[in-house]
Structure 1
Amino acid sequence: MGLKYIEQVKSVILLLLILLSLTLTFTIWTYSPTYNTIDTPPIVDISIAEKKRIEDLVMPYRILYSRGETLTGSETPLNIEKVFNSMKTWEPQSLEPVNTKASLQQINDFITTSNRVTFFYPTEVPIKIFGSIFSFADHNLPDISFNRLVIDWNGPSEDELVFYFISTTNQKIYKTLVDKVDKEAFSERIIKQTSNFPPYNEIKRPGKLSLYVTNNQENVKGYTYILEEIEIAPEKFKNALFSFPSLVRSNSKGTREQQYTDDNALMTVNFLLKRLSYVHPASESQNSGNPTELIQHSLDFVNEHSGWTDEYRYNRINPATQQVSYQLYLKGVPVFSNDTSTEITQYWGMNRVYRYIRPYYTLNNSSPIKTRKIQLPSGQDTYDLISTIPDLKMSSVDDMVVGYYLSQDDQQLFLNLEPSWFYLSKGIWVRVSPELLGGGKFGLE
């Protein structure tokens, strides 16, 4: 009898164990723990100013029209845009090389041949970037670049003209045909649109590219702004450039600088130079970059925080260091300075921007408190003057433009923009000093 009860007890215990196992399994399967709520970072408005398109940034700074033995031209944006925009409906065909080892004299001749219009760009423009402004019939564009665009209507066909893409840096010339164009109407339109252009002189230099300068005096307005009214709060850039702005720490470096960091990146604001510098050290790269991609990435990056606070134009690229720069302009005139930053510069690294340097002021949102008219000598007279500067080799002068020299007063209350002549030498724009233009002591600023 005892053994019989033992077997029954075992069966009951086994049944209980099975039920307990099923209960535990069900509990584990259906268990839902209570998690602590993670606060989502607040959505911050990072729209600082405006977004831009490629065609807003990649623009010619000069147009030159050759007709017979005369040259006329303009650096006024409205004059350039009238001619340039009238061609945007055209469809260039396939590109083909004309001369991949062009001499500098051959390039000079291309520009001054009669019935040609030349657009000057400040630096090399990848043809694929230009393809986003003009719609090429052949979408498979080569990896070439140019800094002179020559429109030629000398050919015999009545509905066809030629685009010449010239790289003065690489000394290469490519061309493409543009058909279905009323050439006679275009020629008449060019003559009409350029009828008020001032005369230009070609300064010929043996073994060098020619310089093209105005033959008339220049009348340009100067401006003065209240500095306090045009500054942009650095906090806006902090919110735009850091992923979690609320975690960013701020540290004052005396009266001249303020630093912001989140251990991954550092943003430095220089109050004296009105310059902002952002760096993400982990993204540094020694690799070179693709010019087309660099320009597109740099545009997209600034557009992400609507950071185009003024008129800026693409003006420099260095694929070896992955650098892209955009020059500040005011009313179509370039702005240069020794006192503050007048460029937006980016260095790209591994899949993101490595370094970002720019002004944190804007001239767009304020009216000048003072306006004045300044008369400058002609480009030819200015060239003749700077040719007398001791130790300046004129063969090193690559271009001349009228620009604004931006300076601060001693109390740092005002920004002055003074019209001046500048010449380009060894990649740097140098101001022609007022003393030199006035016939006084030689000097450069």
Structure 2
Amino acid sequence: MQTKELIKSIILGILVLTSIILTVMIWNFSPDVKDTYSDTQKESTKAIGARYDKDAVQVMTPLQMVHVHRDKIEGAAATPYVNSLVNIFHQQHISKVEEFQNDNVLSLDALSNNLIVLDYPTDTPLAMYLNEVMNVPAKVPSNFKFNRIVLDIGKRNHVDVYAIDAQRQRAIKMSTDVPVAKVNKHLNHMSTNLEPYTDILTDQTTVNKATYLYAPKAPKDLRTYRTIFSNINVEDLNSILFDDTPIVRATKSGNTTYNNNTGMVNYDANNETYSYTNLSEDEHSTRDMNVSIPRTFDYINKHGGFTDDFRLFKANSEKGEMVYQMFVNGRPIFDSTIRNQIRVIWGERGIFEYSRGLLKTNVTVDNGEKPKALPEAEEVRSDLASNGGVDFSKVQQMVVGYRMITNDASSDGLEIQHNSQFVPTWYIKYNGGWYEFKNGELIKP
């Protein structure tokens, strides 16, 4: 018995001593974070903004929303609240898909007198949009592209959605399980922000409420804004696109060229623009926008490239080019350079070309001037229709945007920050390009 008790005492003593040693080790333990911190720091140098900061619904947005209820037409620029209308369809069900086509113009006689029209700045593949933005599974033609969505909220308990192509000759109708009451509730919440709009007939393809061109009737109370920018670091972009491989730098007349075996960059210090070409990528870009748009969105989002309110503004399937343009207060910003844009061409495996401005907004404030009014839409229409150099049938959209006025940068780089303004201006989409309307003329930004 004494032997057993002695063994028990020894074991107990060992356990107590072990417990004390382990407790001391825990108190004094300091994890080796060197590798973890190094990896995190390395990753952080490869981003120019917050990673994955944008949702697809924030980037692939309408240009404007118009509510057509009998003879009353009201609308708004694409503010976040307008864009959130799309969220109503998130993970909802489409019970039926129908296609309509007409060689002249769509009639869509079944439409009610209560519609919401969402106009988009570019042709967008419907299959990609349903999947990436609305998150609504549906079998639709993969080659169908739209630049207008019409929500019929006047006939039944659930919303019918029409996606209409740019030629106004083809439409896809989708019967949904989204309650009309849910859309009306959203519409009521934003009713105070709606302003009078008008419908405009441009040619034989815009002859009914589904196909009219819609524009603000008499834009007023528009403010000019001053903006202070900061600069995106060129080396940060280089580390992303060159993947930290050795590069050669050469500077001449304000332009700096970086290159290695896989890529080449031209940095224009005067205009604060950056253009990259991937020499290891096939020059034949991917033309399928169902593939290219999601891939470019993910790529830019991954390295925090949406440093401001950038939105998909152009998707050119012939060139394989996508343009993301800067917006403020739901309105597009126009500039003569690419300071307001991100331009991307996707190759077979990755980025082929990547160009952008190197300015990002720090502060945007009212410049203190009296709000201004722009010419009424009817005046703009009349001036363009009577201009012998303009084929009015090629007018595709009329919106209020902002002209970016920026003086040349001084040697210390501060002048560009002190003298940047966003001035409200009429912009016209004409024959596929965007122009400023000024004194009856169309002027390239």
- TM-score class, shorter-chain normalisation, is 0.7 to 0.9
**1 CA distance for matches of 2:182 and 2:322?**
39
Alignment-derived partner of residue 423 in structure 2: 418
Please provide the CA RMSD for this pair: 2.9
**1 CA distance for matches of 2:378 and 2:306?**
35
- Match runs of 1:24-423 below 5 Å: 43=42, 45-50=45-50, 51=52, 52-81=54-83, 83-88=85-90, 90-97=92-99, 99-101=100-102, 103-104=104-105, 106=107, 113-130=112-129, 131-136=131-136, 138=138, 140-143=139-142, 144-155=144-155, 157=156, 159-169=157-167, 171-179=169-177, 181-184=178-181, 186-187=183-184, 190=187, 193-194=190-191, 197-209=194-206, 210-226=212-228, 229-245=229-245, 247-255=246-254, 257-286=255-284, 288-363=286-361, 365-368=362-365, 370-372=367-369, 373-410=371-408, 413=415, 414-423=419-428
Q: Is the contact between residue 238 and residue 244 of structure 2 (CA under 8 Å) also seen in structure 1?
A: no
Superposition deviation, residue 202 in structure 1: 1.0
**2 CA distance for matches of 1:370 and 1:195?**
24
Superposition deviation, residue 331 in structure 1: 2.4
Letter in 2 for 1:418: V
Alignment-derived partner of residue 34 in structure 1: none
* Higher mean displacement: 259-268 or 85-94: 85-94
Q: 1:189 to 1:56 in 2, by over 3 A?
A: closer
Q: 1:301 to 1:383 in 2, by over 3 A?
A: same
Superposition deviation, residue 204 in structure 1: 1.6
**1 CA distance for matches of 2:166 and 2:175?**
21
Letter in 1 for 2:200: I
Percent of residue pairs identical: 19
Superposition deviation, residue 174 in structure 1: 1.0
Q: Is the contact between residue 340 and residue 407 of structure 1 (CA under 8 Å) also seen in structure 2?
A: no
Q: 1:101 to 1:280 in 2, by over 3 A?
A: same
Superposition deviation, residue 196 in structure 1: 5.1
**2 CA distance for matches of 1:308 and 1:392?**
36
Q: 1:64 to 1:262 in 2, by over 3 A?
A: same
Alignment-derived partner of residue 26 in structure 2: none
Q: Is the contact between residue 341 and residue 359 of structure 1 (CA under 8 Å) also seen in structure 2?
A: yes
TM-score (normalizing by structure 2): 0.78
Q: 1:185 to 1:133 in 2, by over 3 A?
A: closer
Letter in 2 for 1:377: P
Q: Is the contact between residue 338 and residue 356 of structure 2 (CA under 8 Å) also seen in structure 1?
A: no
Q: Is the contact between residue 400 and residue 426 of structure 2 (CA under 8 Å) also seen in structure 1?
A: yes
Superposition deviation, residue 176 in structure 1: 1.4
Say which one has the larger Rg: 1
* Higher mean displacement: 316-325 or 87-96: 87-96
Q: Is the contact between residue 97 and residue 140 of structure 2 (CA under 8 Å) also seen in structure 1?
A: yes
Alignment-derived partner of residue 12 in structure 2: none
**2 CA distance for matches of 1:371 and 1:353?**
42
Secondary structure at the aligned position of 1:235 is classed as helix
TM-score (normalizing by structure 1): 0.78
Structure 1 residues without counterparts, runs of 5 or longer: 1-39
Q: 1:214 to 1:244 in 2, by over 3 A?
A: closer
Alignment-derived partner of residue 4 in structure 1: none
